Amino acid sequence: MEKSLLETLSPTAVWTYFNQICQIPHTSGHEQNIGQFLLDTAEKLGLEATRNESGNVHIIKPASSGMENRPSVLLQAHMDMVGVKDTEKEFDFQKECVTPLITDDGFVTADGTTLGADNGIGMAIILAILNDASLRHPRIKALFTVSEETNMKGAVALTAEDIDCDTAINIDSEDIGEICIGCAGGSSYNIVYEPDIKAVPDTGFRALEIRMSNGLGGHSGIDIHKKRLNGGGAVLSLISSLRDEGFKVCISDFKAGTVRNSIPSEASAVLCIPEHLIGKSINSLQDMINRLQTKFSETDSNASFEVTRLDTLPTFMLTDEATDDVLKLKALNTKVTEYLDDGVTPLTSCNMGVARLENNRFHFELLARYATTEGKAGIEKKINDIVASGRAKITHYDCYTFWQPDFDSRLLKLASEEYRKLTGLDSVTTVIHAGLECGLFKTLNPKLDVISIGPDIYGAHSTKERVRISSVDTCYRWIQHILESI
């Protein structure tokens, strides 16, 4: 790997802006300086720019002469990035800047941190378009939103006036040649169950630990249908099967997952069991684990389980009834409940991202996704029913809307024609089972014709994040061509 000389890459304007963006810390909630950079850049270009209360930045570029009557275009990217670093790396995302590196195989990546190509490349492409004096284009409104990665705060704060355009191109997709025209909505839930607990008797009881590790985990939407083990769901199922076989184990500790938008790849539970049953229960557990691993051998083959007798007894355990309640709540991990007609693309799903026993409270964090109003109603009813059956309480609820695909979109047709002319290849139209800000634009301006595109970005939100250099060039030229012929 060579140290970055991003400006030597093509298109120069895009990579120069991206290099400048890399030098400004800009994780979610800390977009003050990157916003100022966008305002300063607009000023240098002589363009009208504003930053509103939410922190979103708007820049207007009037149409080239003769293009005033063409449909106006909103070009949009988000300002924030996800800050993830290698465990051993010392790095402060609020103070330090990422170091981009050019790899021998044609990518730009970062040294031990996320790169922020998601969505820094989107911002850089838009700035390069605004800077391009030779381009013939309609009226352009550039929109840079804050905090997309956490709660879409910027997009949520938008008004109809902010997106008063005929068409919109969101540059936050991660596969060159794909044109995304729809996305899922999402509902976040925090659920709390306060169990009855009792002291573990000093004699006659033993404790055992079940631990799952090395699961694939993954994105709670994009990967939800890939038949991967959800750590929390898997370990709760094992406990449930044990109780079904008559081993009255009670939960004493439970940990799975840290964030709702990721499938937990590991989990652990401590169980208390009458001493005379411990040997048999471990044997049964081993059989159940073998069956589970066979079932997932094709789709999550590295997931491993360990069952250990513990030397020390915990002080407390859940009562029988409370353990039953928690096991009912495992149904909250519904995974995919409904598919599109193709039988592959998920329509409705729910990921149990967090399930933890802390300070004598069981705490769940869910992310439910849906692509239709009926899907939303269905999954929400299901979650409410399960919560009620397990005598738990919903303590937080938040949602954002889905984006219904329009397969007759004029912009889609134009973008796919221009892609074919540019590359000789056919584009692919997609609808994704994850959230994009475009869903919110459509609610404010239902007539807006929207697509989402972007260069090839792999491993976003991880230290493996990398962007394919050639795809940035293709993406930039693709957008130029769309603007010229719109």
Residues that bind Zn ion (CB under 5 A): 118-119, 172
Q: Judge contact between 232 and 349, C-beta under 8 A.
A: no
148 in catalytic set: yes
Q: How far is the CB of 118 from Zn ion (least distance, A)?
A: 4
| C-alpha torsion sign, points 201, 206, 210, 211 | positive
Instruction: Exactly one of 118, 148, 174, 380 is catalytic; name it.
Output: 148
| C-alpha torsion sign, points 397, 434, 112, 87 | positive
Separation CA 208–CA 5 (nearest Å): 55
Q: Provide the 3-class DSSP secondary structure of residue 230.
A: coil
Q: How far is the CB of 375 from Zn ion (least distance, A)?
A: 23
Q: How far is the CB of 366 from Zn ion (least distance, A)?
A: 22
Q: Which of 436, 391, 451 is nearest to 119 (CA)?
A: 436
Dig out the tokens for 111 from the structure: 């040294």
Instruction: Exactly one of 40, 43, 68, 80 is catalytic; name it.
Output: 80
Dig out the tokens for 367 from the structure: 């992310």
324 in catalytic set: no
Dig out the tokens for 202 from the structure: 């000093």
Residue where the block lists tokens 């889905």: 402
Separation CA 232–CA 185 (nearest Å): 24
**How would you class 381 by CB atoms within 10 Å of its CB: exposed for 0-12, middle for 13-18, buried for 19 or more?**
exposed
Separation CA 484–CA 138 (nearest Å): 8
Cβ distance to Zn ion smaller for residue 166 or 178: 178
Separation CA 230–CA 227 (nearest Å): 9
Q: How far is CA 25 from CA 5, 18, 36, 370, in A?
A: 19, 13, 12, 33
Cβ distance to Zn ion smaller for residue 109 or 119: 119
Residue 354 pairs with which residues in a beta bridge? 365
Give the count of alpha carbons within 13 A of 469, CB side only: 20
Q: Enumerate the active-site residues.
A: 80, 148
